């Protein structure tokens, strides 16, 4: 028999939710203003600044570049994190803790330091501002997000299922493809999603690594707001909020956000 939460606790939860959502709601309202400056559209709403996005080829190019970069970095990070996470979760070998610490180290290093270090490395390789260098840098940054969820999903995996498949004559590849991967796929999907979001949203490190030809959307927005303040960025932010919401709803429909973000296998 369920018990209702106390009224003060419910009030606190609603106030906390309102506090978290208020900035997003304000940004959405501002994006519909018909003025040339940031204001609430109480005396007139317009899609003026959404049309301005379509007319600005630099914003559209930066958006498509961020999407493709996020997909590439998240996919490469997932391909690296799945075997690494399975090995760390299921086996004990010399240097296991050191490997785990190394792969998770980008979470502890400030992105300013990472940006300077990667810029220096790319300069030594004579490839500063290159697309492959930016992809590699984003892969390094987002790899820990995938690895943590893969390790969590693999740790909760019942190894006797795989052993039973092996006992019945299944090859290692068949066991991985038909047994292990389907059972840890929520952790893999959640890791890929977090990696994509963090790659798409990465600014600090990208400022150092990106060039004029590889400018991502966050860098473009940062450079835009450094020179002028207008509701255009509010419109861009509103579109990103909507796309994120759609992505979350789709993921929740097929896998369930509680399973994906927690890396649960069941």
CA dihedral defined by 231, 233, 238, 239, rounded to 10 degrees? 120
**Mean pLDDT of all residues belonging to the chain:** 85
Mean pLDDT of 18-45: 82
Q: Quick check: 154 pLDDT over 90?
A: no
Residue 224 to residue 222: CA distance in whole angstroms: 5
Confidence grade of residue 247 (pLDDT, cut at 50, 70, 90): confident
Domains and CATH numbers, the chain: 56-262 (1.10.3720.10)
Q: What is the pTM of this model?
A: 0.83
The size of the chain, in residues, is: 266
Mean pLDDT of 195-221: 89
Instruction: State the pLDDT at residue 196.
Output: 92
Q: Quick check: 1 pLDDT over 50?
A: no
Instruction: State the pLDDT at residue 91.
Output: 83
Mean pLDDT of 220-238: 85
Instruction: Name the token pair of 189.
Output: 């999907």
Instruction: State the pLDDT at residue 259.
Output: 61
The angle subtended at Cα 244 by Cα 15 and Cα 231, nearest 5°, is 80
Instruction: Name the token pair of 156.
Output: 């909760």
Mean pLDDT of 14-32: 89
169 in the Ramachandran plot: left (φ > 0), alpha (ψ -120 to 50) or beta?
A: left
Top mean pLDDT of 130-139, 148-157, 250-259 is at 130-139
Instruction: State the pLDDT at residue 3.
Output: 65
Beta bridge partners of 75: none
Confidence grade of residue 248 (pLDDT, cut at 50, 70, 90): confident
Which DSSP string corresponds to 55-81? Answer: H-HHHHHHHHHHHHHHHHHHHHHHHHH
pLDDT, tens digit (0-9, with 9 covering 90-100), for 74-130: 999 999 999 999 889 888 888 888 988 889 999 888 889 999 999 999 888 888 888
CA–chain centroid gap for 177, Å, is 25
Q: Quick check: 177 pLDDT over 50?
A: yes
Residue 235 to residue 260: CA distance in whole angstroms: 29
Beta bridge partners of 45: 33
């Amino acid at each position: 028999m369920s018990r209702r939460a106390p009224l003060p606790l419910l009030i606190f939860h609603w106030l906390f939710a309102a506090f978290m959502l208020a900035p997003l709601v304000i940004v959405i309202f501002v994006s519909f203003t018909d003025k040339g400056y940031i204001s609430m559209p109480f005396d007139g709403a317009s899609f003026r600044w959404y049309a301005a996005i379509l007319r600005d080829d630099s914003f559209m190019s930066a958006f498509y570049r961020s999407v493709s970069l996020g997909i590439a970095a998240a996919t490469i990070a997932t391909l690296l994190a799945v075997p690494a996470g399975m090995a760390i979760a299921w086996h004990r070998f010399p240097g296991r803790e050191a490997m785990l610490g190394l792969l998770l180290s980008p979470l502890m290093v400030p992105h300013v330091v990472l940006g300077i270090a990667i810029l220096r490395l790319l300069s030594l390789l004579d490839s500063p501002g290159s697309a492959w260098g930016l992809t590699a840098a984003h892969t390094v940054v987002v790899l820990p997000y995938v690895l943590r969820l893969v390790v969590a999903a693999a740790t909760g995996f019942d190894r006797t299922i795989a052993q039973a498949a092996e006992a019945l004559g299944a090859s290692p590849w068949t066991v991985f493809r038909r047994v292990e991967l389907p059972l840890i796929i929520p952790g893999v999907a959640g890791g890929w999603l977090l990696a994509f979001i963090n790659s798409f949203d990465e600014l600090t490190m990208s400022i150092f690594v990106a060039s004029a030809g590889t400018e991502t959307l966050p860098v473009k927005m940062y450079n835009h707001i450094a020179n002028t303040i207008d509701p255009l960025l509010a419109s861009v932010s509103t579109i990103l909020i909507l796309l994120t919401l759609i992505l979350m709803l789709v993921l929740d429909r097929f896998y369930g956000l509680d399973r994906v973000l927690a890396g649960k296998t069941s």
